Each structure stands twice: as C-alpha cells, then as structure tokens.
Amino acid sequence: MPSWGIGSVVKAPRGGNLLVRFEQAGAKLLHPAYAPLTKVPEDELFFMVVGEVHMKGRRAVRTVRVIPVVKKIAKELPV
C-alpha cells in the first residue's frame, strides 16, 4: 500500500513470502505475486532526519528518525 511508505526487505522465509519493514506501518509479511513491490535503487533515495522531543514523565526524551524518501516524490512535495 502506498500509505505504508518505503520499506526494506528484512527476511525471505520459505514459501516465497517477504518480511518487509515499513517506516509508517511496521513489519508486514507479503507475497510478491499479490503485493507488487518496486525495487528502488539506492541512488534514487535520500534520507530526511527528523528530530523529536517527547515528554516521558517529567523529563524530555530526544529521538531522531531517519526516513527514506524517493527523489521523484520529493520533487513533488511542497517546501
């Protein structure tokens, strides 16, 4: 699903299924015949780094997420 974002194949268990980890949707077990996947070359990606601060109790916890973005899609995003 496009709303899942870009994923990385984590494991290829028996039966032809692929375990794919998506940024927005977590890990999904997919069969390539039913879930069309598109391989994106590494040079077509760039990575956004997002820093966030969350409150955990009374203390601030800083986190950093690295989000892969396809360059073609990035050109269409408003700045």
Whether the full predicted model's pTM is greater than 0.75, yes or no, is no
Token pair recorded at residue 34: 């039913």
Portion of the chain with pLDDT greater than 70, in percent? 81
- Which residue type is seen at 42? E
Nearest CA to 49 out of 67, 26, 72 is that of 67
Predicted local confidence at residue 60, as pLDDT = 92
Confidence of residue 39 (pLDDT cuts 50, 70, 90): confident
Rounded Cα distance between 60 and 16, Å, is 44
Confidence of residue 59 (pLDDT cuts 50, 70, 90): very high
> DSSP character for 16?
S
